[in-house]
Amino acid sequence: MIREPLIFELSAKGKRAYAMPALDVPEAKGALDGLAVRDGIEGFPEASEVEIVRHFTRLSQQNYCVDEGFYPLGSCTMKYNPKINEKIAALPGFAGVHPYAPADTVQGCLEVLKRTEDYLCEITGFEAFTLQPSAGAQGELTGIMLIRAALAKRGNPRKVVLIPDSAHGTNPSSAHLSGYAVQEIKSNPDGGIDLEELARCMNEDVAALMVTNPNTLGVFESNIRRAAEIVHAKGGFLYMDGANMNALTGIARPGDMGADVLHVNLHKTFSTPHGGGGPGSGPVGVVKEMVPFLPTPYVVRTANGYGLDDDRPDSIGRVRGFYGNFLVVVKALTYILALGPEGVREIAEIAVLNANYIRKSLEGIYNLPYDAPSLHEVVFDDKIQKDAYGVTNLDIAKRLIDYGFHPPTMSFPLIVHGALMIEPTETESKRDLDGFIETMKTIAEEAKADAGLLKAAPHHSFVRRLDETAAARNPVLKWEKPKSE
């Protein structure tokens, strides 16, 4: 396979992808000086149109995407994104609208925002949502800022946020950025919240407990209501990370579990593209006490339709320009409306069924470090293959590429060494799941027969195994012109 050159390497001086007609009016010399004319950029690539088109088309063909095949990247919910979403979001009334347009000229867009908020409230059990945050991590940050604002209003913002050791790494970051110290809580032997440990750590310095439910092992936190009671009894808030909402839609509501704040990822649960194809969207839902603190402008119903409310003195203010990633919201609303209530429930039902089908089919062939019942994803590890043949989760993941699958999430959650976290989503048919399961069985056989084959994988991809350690230790972040030229 010939390596695709960088665009810089394709460059030749003076090449252009366009040709302007000769100037037929006097040149306005100096008219833009100091305003819009930037200095030249040394080494800026110059190429013809066909070279540019072919270069990026070739690169795109080397990529792997959810439109191409199974993408079981656990915790990321890489479901198929129906094309109707794109069609609706491309309507000129949505795609062409100006963010500064007066509210009375964009009533349809405001209705989209309000109805999406209504549906999210219905699905999750909260009083209100902000749709501003750009993605999950910003949603979390917004959520913790809302908790801080609500506690400050009560008189004391407090100092500590409790986070289980199985959490997404963004949880401690969000707490830290909001000025809180992070205290880690060890999981119980089933991988869930240890209530005794929680009760021991919970005091009047603790602002919140951040919990992902189902947690990153794909296990439902059946103690969630007890945990909420423990936190509420000391005046703290329960933050729920809704990254795994795909296991709950239409079945159970975080608001009913005692959560006070929740972020959901429209780009996971509600089928808007992500992973390079984004942008994302991370709406945050809150209980009644926290509604006054939501970011502004907040969409409200008025006598004549919809309006934008900026006059909310307790608001934490804007967390993003304009109204968030509006077209992502349009896609999510399309998805919700296309599915309807029955369909929204089926998301969770089929997602959980698919994960458990994979679990049952591979149990015993791959080790299950935690055997509590799985919801929408299942976490295996490499213990069986590693102990017997020295084959690691990395080798298994790389070999999957040879068979045309995107690898599962690896080495996460951190409490599982050698983790392989598989989330099939509801998208996959039984036939596709069977194809993946057979391949995982084949790879387990290969580990036994020829470990070296896996150690050297992938063999059939555009690039072979990369030295990730060398890349991280000595990153080359900038192209430099070879000295010989």
Partner 1 sequence: MYPQNFYFTKDHEWVAVDGDTATIGISDFAQKQLGDVVFVEQPEIGKVLAVHQTIGSIESVKAVSEVFAPVSGEVTAINAELGTAPEAVNQDPHGKGWIIRLKMANQADLGALMKAADYEKYLEGLTH
**CA atoms of 105 and 305, how far apart (whole Å):** 11
| Positions in 456-475 near partner 1 (CB under 8 A) | 468-469, 472-473
- The answer to whether 372 and 191 are in contact (CB under 8 A) is yes
- The answer to whether 57 and 19 are in contact (CB under 8 A) is no
Tell whether residue 200 is a contact of partner 1 (CB under 8 A): no
Phi, psi at 50, each rounded to 5°? -65, -35
Complex with partner 1: residue 59 or 414, whichever CB lies closer: 414
Instruction: Match 């080359």 to its residue by tokens.
Output: 476
Whole-number minimum distance, CB 181 to partner 1, in Å? 11
Phi, psi at 110, each rounded to 5°? -65, -35
CB under 8 A, 24+ apart: contacts of 180-183: 180/144, 180/148, 180/207
Complex with partner 1: residue 128 or 163, whichever CB lies closer: 163
Complex with partner 1: residue 1 or 472, whichever CB lies closer: 472
- The answer to whether 180 and 159 are in contact (CB under 8 A) is yes
Whole-number minimum distance, CB 177 to partner 1, in Å? 16
Cis ω before 407 (30° cut-off from 0):
no
Whole-number minimum distance, CB 349 to partner 1, in Å? 33
- The answer to whether 132 and 177 are in contact (CB under 8 A) is no
Of 188, 361, 411, 461, which lies in the binding site for partner 1, with binding defined by CB under 8 A? 411
- The answer to whether 239 and 110 are in contact (CB under 8 A) is no
Tell whether residue 477 is a contact of partner 1 (CB under 8 A): no
Complex with partner 1: residue 16 or 417, whichever CB lies closer: 417
- The answer to whether 59 and 364 are in contact (CB under 8 A) is no
Whole-number minimum distance, CB 416 to partner 1, in Å? 11
Question: What length does the chain have?
Answer: 485
Complex with partner 1: residue 370 or 436, whichever CB lies closer: 370
**CA atoms of 374 and 219, how far apart (whole Å):** 5
Complex with partner 1: residue 23 or 472, whichever CB lies closer: 472
| Positions in 53-92 near partner 1 (CB under 8 A) | none
Of 169, 341, 364, 373, which lies in the binding site for partner 1, with binding defined by CB under 8 A? 169
Whole-number minimum distance, CB 410 to partner 1, in Å? 8
Of 159, 417, 460, 481, which lies in the binding site for partner 1, with binding defined by CB under 8 A? 417
Tell whether residue 414 is a contact of partner 1 (CB under 8 A): yes
Judged by the rule CB under 8 A, the positions of this chain that interact with partner 1 are: 169, 410-411, 414, 417, 468-469, 472-473
